[in-house]
Amino acid sequence: CRLYFTQIGIGTPAKSYYVQVDTGSDILWVNCVSCDTCPRKSGLGIELTLYDPSGSSSGTGVTCGQEFCVATHGGVLPSCVPAAPCQYSISYGDGSSTTGFFVTDFLQYNQVSGNSQTSLANTSITFGCGAKIGGDLGSSSQALDGILGFGQSNSSMLSQLAAAGKVRKVFAHCLDTINGGGIFAIGDVVQPKVSTTPLVPGMPHYNVNLEAIDVGGVKLQLPTNIFGIEESKGTIIDSGTTLAYLPGVVYNAIMSKVFAQYGDMPLKNDQDFQCFRYSGSVDDGFPIITFHFEGGLPLNIHPHDYLFQNGELYCMGFQTGGLQTKDGKDMVLLGDLAFSNRLVLYDLENQVIGWTDYNC
């Protein structure tokens, strides 16, 4: 599992926090001193820090009657009494969760100030103070201080920075799967130029219109409404997901085409992955899979992206959607596997998303 995280500063004096970057959720939150179950050590070799609102001279609590709380919850919570804290609760697709309360404090972040130059910027924003975590977030092997949501809602850090007039509502990432790490940037991308496809309006995630899929240049024959945009269908782009998930009928069609010339190759099921032995270069032996989006934007996924090494085996990085969540079985969910070593641009002002190959 690949994990992409960045460093931000919070509070006065500022302390450093390491947060996972996730385009599939909205809120920034970090674990707080009141959290008993939060990891104290991380297998990633980073120093974990618990946020203490009383340890920052600029930190203040958010009450449930305040505008931010009312807007985030779509109205005043029934349990709200004057001066009570504004609570939050988030569940993620993998079953992990966080609950806590909102606070407002100074956020310190790097802003591009010139060609390959960054400078520190400081802005007051509202974020979650995590009092309890569940699922994989509680395990220390890949523990971080929190999650930085880059969704579209008004509660996201990007929306707050944009509303304060600090940045344009545009961000980009470039994930380097060869050396690890990559680039995450807020604001305009001048170079390289990026072709785009429209975002589907009124969706909570980054939904796009997928029109067709080719394997090795041959278009897959699929049911006509398979990529519809209604509630339980559609195509989502999400950097918080490592792999790519497809409706069963699409997955089966791709698998049969990818392995068409290896009819007798035995596939081994290893923790829900289809794996096999192969000795040559996968880029020479397997086809490119191309997703075609509205506006003519293609996404070429090479064999070295969709096949990953697991010991002596290669495994297929695509899975059927039902394996991730039961309500996602008819959706296409494209995670980092599909966008590695590409600059991906999210232009929320113009409601488009695009990408281009790039050496991160």
pLDDT at 181: 75
222, 316: one domain:
yes
pLDDT at 112: 67
Q: Is residue 11 part of a domain?
A: yes
Active-site residue list: 22, 238
204, 347: one domain:
yes
Quote the CA–CA distance of 51 and 167 in Å, as a whole number: 25
**Residue listed under structure tokens 């990026």:** 194
10, 137: one domain:
yes
Q: Is residue 44 part of a domain?
A: yes
pLDDT at 301: 95
141, 82: one domain:
yes
How far does Cα 155 stand from its chain's mean position? 16
Q: Is residue 351 part of a domain?
A: yes
Domain span including residue 283: 195-357
How far does Cα 70 stand from its chain's mean position? 26
pLDDT at 136: 83
Q: In degrees, to the nearest 5, what angle opens at C-alpha 230 toward C-alphas 228 and 232?
A: 100
Task: Give me the CATH number covering residue 158.
Answer: 2.40.70.10
What is the pLDDT tens value at each position of the chain, 360 positions in all? 567 788 999 999 999 999 998 888 899 999 999 998 899 999 888 999 999 999 999 999 999 999 999 999 989 988 888 899 999 999 887 788 999 999 999 999 877 666 667 778 889 999 999 999 998 887 888 899 999 998 889 999 999 999 999 888 999 888 877 677 788 888 777 778 899 999 999 888 899 999 999 999 999 999 888 888 776 789 999 877 888 999 999 999 999 999 998 888 899 998 889 999 998 899 999 999 999 999 999 999 999 999 998 888 999 999 988 665 555 678 899 988 898 889 999 999 999 999 998 887
Q: Is residue 15 part of a domain?
A: yes
316, 276: one domain:
yes
For the chain, the domain total comes to 2
335, 201: one domain:
yes
299, 214: one domain:
yes
Chosen domain end from 150, 167, 184: 167
Beta bridge partners of 31: 130
Q: Is residue 314 part of a domain?
A: yes
Residue 323, phi then psi, degrees to nearest 5: -75, -25
209, 152: one domain:
no
User: Measuring CA to CA, which residue among 178, 230, 242, 172 is closest to residue 3?
Assistant: 242
Instruction: Outline where 42-164 has alpha helix (H).
Output: 67-73, 157-163
140, 280: one domain:
no
Q: Is residue 215 part of a domain?
A: yes
